[in-house]
Amino acid sequence: MSVAAGPSLEVLPSLEAVAIRGATLLAEALLDPQRPPSGLATGRTMLPLYGALRPLLLADRRFEPSAWRSFNLDEYVGLAPTDCRSFAGYMAAQLGDPLGLAPGRLALPDGLAPDPALEADRYRQALLQAGLGLQLLGLGNNGHVGFNEPPCLPQARCRWVELSAETRRQNAAGFGGDPGAVPPLAITLGLAEILGAQELLLVVTGAAKAQVLRRVLEEPPHGELPASWLQGHGRWRVLCDRDAASALS
């Protein structure tokens, strides 16, 4: 894989500014009928962004709930879509319910599928058939994107994975603060499908992510830092606030 010139990096003055900019870019992708479905992400980083996105979409004449199509990055294995701790539950609360999207419009892997490997293949096929336009991404503290935990190669496909202890700690807040209550397995898009999107939008906020963001942008791509493979994509944009940018050279 050739290494592209680097992302377009936008350092914005505040978390709110990042949310508005990210929401504006995502809204344009979602509202363009010529573009393939967008790829969506979960996590705390996206809460203010989706908060800014909702009024933008609802105020736009082009917004048509019945035309919505999106694919999420990942889902925990073992949680029902109706469980508010699942990513399907998160998406319903953030976008599905407030925007009046019919069930199924926000596609995610099915956390309750009896065979997670088959479910990953099914989800991958559905996504490849539709194509991916703009892929929104957050960044894990250990450099993961989706649930592509280190070590991970850019050829990795949609699959079930074991979550690292660090990721289970990072996501414990949604499970009563107990890392042991975070499901140990998840289904995630691989870097192969993520890198196949037309355009990538990585959103990073907060001082706690400053070091990992510096490494993602400044180290040569390597498997111990899965997000560093994004450097191989010709069209990726990084939005961050000043805190997250504070370690960049």
| Annotation says 74 is catalytic | yes
- Give residues 122-141 in contact with ligand GLP (rule: CB under 6 A): 138-140
- Give residues 195-224 in contact with ligand GLP (rule: CB under 6 A): none
Which residue in 68, 147, 160, 229 binds ligand GLP (CB under 6 A)? Answer: 147
Token look-up 């450097």 returns 231
* Min separation Cβ 129 and ligand GLP, Å: 23
37 forms part of the interface with ligand GLP (CB under 6 A) = no
Pattern 150-189, ligand GLP, x by CB under 6 A: -----------------x---x------------------
Q: What are phi and psi of 82, to 5 degrees?
A: -80, -10
149 forms part of the interface with ligand GLP (CB under 6 A) = no
The rounded Cα 225 to chain-centroid distance in angstroms is: 16
Residue 123 amino acid letter? Y
| Annotation says 144 is catalytic | yes
* 3 state SS of 202: strand
Among candidate residues 75, 144, 148, 241, the one labeled active-site is 144
Pattern 53-92, ligand GLP, x by CB under 6 A: --------------------xx------------------
Task: Specify the stretch interacting with ligand GLP by CB under 6 A; choose among 16-24, 39-47, 175-183, 224-232.
Answer: 39-47
| Annotation says 142 is catalytic | yes
Q: Measuring CA to CA, how many Å separate 163 from each of 32, 46, 73, 88, 213?
A: 35, 20, 15, 18, 21
Site size for ligand GLP (CB under 6 A): 14
The rounded Cα 55 to chain-centroid distance in angstroms is: 21
| Separation of alpha carbons 205 and 44, rounded Å | 10
Residue 207's region, left for phi above 0, alpha for psi from -120 to 50, else beta, is alpha
| Separation of alpha carbons 192 and 183, rounded Å | 24
44 forms part of the interface with ligand GLP (CB under 6 A) = yes
Among candidate residues 149, 193, 199, 241, the one labeled active-site is 149
Q: Measuring CA to CA, how many Å separate 189 from each of 10, 29, 61, 78?
A: 26, 20, 32, 17
143 forms part of the interface with ligand GLP (CB under 6 A) = no
| Catalytic residue set | 74, 142, 144, 149
Q: Given the rule CB under 6 A, which residues bind ligand GLP?
A: 41-45, 73-74, 138-140, 146-147, 167, 171
